[in-house]
Structures are given as C-alpha cells and as structure tokens.
Amino acid sequence: MYFNMSKYQENERNRMIELVKSNSIFYGGKYGILIKRNGGEKLHKEILLDEQNNIYKPILSDVLKYFKDNKISWWGGYKPTGHTLSSQIACLNHLFSIKNDKNAVLAVVQSICADFTDVLELDNDTDSTKAFISFEVVSKNDYLNECKDKQTPTRGANCTSIDALILAKNKDGKKFLLPIEWKYTEFYNSTDKSTEDGKDHEKGSQASGKERLRRYSELIKNSEQLSLKRENYISSVYFFEPFYQLMRQTLWTEQMIANPVSEKIQADDFIHIHVIPKQNHDLLKDDLDKNRRRKGYTNGAQIGCLEEIWKSCLINKNKYKVISPEELLQNIDKQKYSDLLTYLQTRYWQ
C-alpha cells in the first residue's frame, strides 16, 4: 500500500502512472513530484509536472477562463492541480464539455429522475460563461455562518460549495436544484469533526469542533430534511465524513430555496446527487460497524453502507441519490460526444 491508501485508490494511482507512461491520455505529460512528508521524501508519480495536461484538452482554455472570470479558487491553490486522482478535475472532465448543450444536460438529469422535462440556464456566473451547469457554486449570502467578519462566500474556498449545480424543471413545472457532489478515490478516516482541536489551537481545546457545532447545530435542528435531532450534536453522525459534507450541502440547499429574494438561483425543491465510482467500495460499501462514524448513529439499526446510513438521516429519502459517473452520462448523444466518452472510458471508467 502507498501511505494510507485504499485498495481502489492504490489501483487507480498505478493505472494513472501507466497511462502517463504510455502517453495515451495525458498528451505526453511528464510526472513525478518530490514531496517531503514526516521528515522523509516520496516521489509522487501520479502527479503531473504540467497541471494543464490533467484536463481534457478540448475544454482546457474554456475551463481556465471560467475559473478566472468567476473568481473561483482551484483546489489547493491558484491553478489546477496536477494530481491525476483529483475529484475536482474529474468533475470538470466529465461535465464541462456539455454545460452549454441543453439536450445533453437534460439527458443527464433524466438519468437521475425521468420526470424532468427541462433544464434552465443558471444565473450566477458571468454573462459570458452562463450555462446549464455551474461549478464550485456558493450562495450569495452566508447562511451557514462560515464566513469571517460578515464577508460573503468565496467560490471554491473556505465555505460550503457545490462541485456542480443544475436547475431542472419537472413535468408539473416545479423547479429543482440538483447539487452534485463528485467523488473519485476518496475514502475517510474516523475523525470526529465536532471535537477536533484544529491546527492553530491548544491540544484538547476542541476549538474547531466547538466552532462547527456553533455554526450548524441550530440549522440542523430547524432542517426539514435532516431527521436525526438532538439537544447536542457533538459526535453525531453529522460530524463524521462523508456525512459532514452531505449535512452541510443539505443545509446549503435548503437555505438557497428558503431565500429566493436574496439569491439569483431560485427553486422549489431539490435532489442531492452523490457521484461515486462503483469500484470505490471503501467509500460506498464499507461496513462501518467497527468505525467511529457508525457510533454517531444511535438508534441501533443494522445498517452499514454510506447510502443506507445517510438515507436513515433523511426525512425524504428520495431527495438523495448515489450514481456512478457512467450512469450519469449514459443518455448523452454518443456520436456527438464520442471523443469525450472515449477519453472518460480510458481514464476513469476502467
């Protein structure tokens, strides 16, 4: 194993290294970043020296312009990461090519729910970049108490954001927000986010955990979708990943819908989309009985996988859907997007 990698993550890392070596997908890109960690040095062969080789070439210039024009921070810095296992890059590589194609985006949402009949252009990007999919989306106002000194949320940095967002309309004319959380090789340890000290605080202070409880507890209590209610949410399922992220995105979406006057994007309802490769069993199907995340769920139900646990925390279980990248794009025009689909098949869908 490589550091604390899951089997799927290790397999994907090795596969990416071979793809770079063969020049079959990364445009002749070079790899090999030397990183110091814990006093030693490791050569990360899955990280590209030229980060632009990590992005599907036909969309590269438009992606860079989109992030610049919309003042979006890249994961980990001011430019795209060269890490070939990046979920942010995976999301862009899958969805950016189709964002202006209404029929393609409609095909995507119909793979989520057959009742959708239309998709609407989103109004939160600059005029030159508006489309039917928006990326790294934040609310106009700080509904989740995450910003300092009454600042407004910044796209891609230091607040709850949505990897990709679609606004769809169903056959009854009801508008739905479709927040998309994109995963690739991620898996998580059992860190309790409600009791963490934080890197800049005294050991044992639980300062970061207390701040998170302050931010989200009242919102959880008042949520119409989160079903697990407590007097105190310390060490509850909501503060263990990946549920911590799902909790915040659920609250975010509820607040977007509850504040139509303040927000450019308005909707009546939502479906929360979790895109996860089927092969990532460490995230999808791991039995959590012996994991501290499992202890956060307290009513004794014999459940284990991610989808079961999270749905057990929801009032309307139909508002959460797990889907693989292949399933999400299964209905787009295969002839029109043959080059994109070949790229995705080679790089991600093996």
Per-residue confidence band for 292, with pLDDT thresholds at 50, 70 and 90: very low
Q: Can you list the pairs that 105-109 forms with residues at least 24 positions away whose Cβ atoms lie under 8 Å?
A: 105/132, 105/133, 105/166, 106/168, 107/331, 107/332, 107/333, 108/166, 108/328, 108/329, 108/331, 108/332, 109/166, 109/168, 109/178
pTM comes to 0.93
Range of the domain at 333: 7-347
Lowest mean pLDDT among 148-152, 209-213, 298-302, 339-343: 298-302
Nearest Cα neighbor of 172 from 217, 113, 241, 127 is 113
272, containing H or E segment: strand 272-275
Look up residue 239 and give its DSSP letter.
Answer: G
Q: Answer whether residue 311 is part of any domain.
A: yes
Does the residue 2 lie in any domain?
no
What would the two tokens of residue 345 be? 């098949």
pLDDT tens digit sequence for 211-231: 999 999 999 999 999 999 999
Sign of torsion, CA 153 158 159 162? Answer: positive
Rounded to an integer, what distance in angstroms lies between the CA atom of residue 237 and that of residue 192?
9
Question: Domain count of the chain?
Answer: 1
Q: How far apart are CA 305 and CA 281, in angstroms?
A: 9
- pLDDT tens-digit readout, 59-87: 999 999 999 999 999 987 889 999 999 99
The Cα–Cα gap between 286 and 278 comes to 12
Q: Is residue 89 part of a domain?
A: yes
Buried b (16+ CB within 10 A) or exposed e, 25-41: bbbebebeeeeeeeeee
**Residue 1 within a domain:** no
**What percentage of the chain exceeds 90 in pLDDT?**
72
Q: Is residue 63 in some structural domain?
A: yes
Upstream peptide bond of 58 is cis (omega within 30 degrees of 0): no
Identify whether the C-beta of residue 334 lies closer than 8 Å to the C-beta of residue 240.
Answer: no
pLDDT band at 299 (very low <50, low <70, confident <90, very high): very low
User: What average pLDDT does the segment 320-344 reach?
Assistant: 98
Residue 23 reports pLDDT greater than 80: no
3 state SS of 179: strand
The answer, yes or no, to whether residue 297 has pLDDT greater than 70, is no
Backbone phi and psi for residue 249, each to the nearest 5 degrees, phi listed first: -70, -35
DSSP string, 282-342: HHHT---TTSHHHHT--S-----SHHHHHHTTBSSGGGEEEE-HHHHTTTS-TTTTHHHHH
Q: Which of 154-168, 190-204, 265-279, 311-325 has the lowest mean pLDDT?
A: 190-204
* Helix, strand, or coil (residue 109): helix
Range of weakest confidence among 194-203, 300-309, 318-327: 300-309
Q: Note whether 166 and 178 are within 8 A (CB).
A: yes
- Average pLDDT for residues 146-172, to the nearest whole number? 92
Amino acid at 175: K
> CB-side exposure of 99: number of CA atoms within 13 Å?
23
Q: Is the pLDDT of residue 298 over 50?
A: no
Does a structural domain hold residue 74?
Answer: yes
Domain membership flag for residue 152: yes
The mean pLDDT value for 258-269 works out to 95
Examine residue 182 and state whether it is found in any structural domain, yes or no.
yes
Which among 65-79, 230-244, 296-310, 324-338 has the top mean pLDDT?
Answer: 324-338
